[in-house]
Amino acid sequence: MLNNTFYIENEAAMMAFGGRLADELPEGGIVLLKGNLGAGKTTLVRGLLRHLGHEGNVKSPTYTLVEPYLLNDRTIYHFDLYRLGDPEELEYMGGRDYWESNALCLIEWPDQAKGYLPEADLTLEISYQETGRKIDITHKK
């Protein structure tokens, strides 16, 4: 699945893609999710978390910046940095503690924290493609 381009038809397909991604990802690491508002970043994360057994609501942590999930002894942090005022805020909230753990960190709007995030293990760029979405995946070299 890595280093490829995928075309996603609709929301259900984005959820299913999140599930496929969950099976491909290692237990920990940094995954950057790039794309315009409404591109499907949170929907993808919702599919990933549901595939791993999460049954509750999955919302974008726009105001809290991060939502933690513990699923089958696996820690996942879902970040949304859209409203980050200054990348240095990540230092104040203990960003390094998240990155240096064995957790999987899914980070929406990573460009808001340029210079403060570690190198990504995987980057997903989601863009509008006719009535669906295109996902370009690049893996750390």
- Per-residue model confidence as pLDDT tens digits over 42-66: 999 999 999 999 998 888 887 788 9
Residue position matching structure tokens 């995987």: 122
Distance CA 75, CA 98 (A): 10
Q: In the numeric block, which tokens belong to residue 35? A: 């794309």
Listed by start position, the domains of the chain span 15-128
∠ CA 112-113-118, nearest 5°, is 140
Of the candidate ranges 21-35, 84-98, 101-115, the one whose mean pLDDT is the lowest: 84-98
Q: How confident is the model at residue 125 (pLDDT cuts 50, 70, 90)?
A: very high
Could you report the per-residue pLDDT of 67-102, keeping only the tens digit for each? Answer: 999 998 889 999 999 988 888 888 888 887 888 788
The pLDDT of residue 1? 57
Fold of 15-128: Rossmann fold (3.40.50)
pTM of the model: 0.92
Output the DSSP codes for 9-67: -SHHHHHHHHHHHHHHS-SSEEEEEE--TTSSHHHHHHHHHHHTT--S-----TTTSEE
Distance CA 79, CA 76 (A): 10
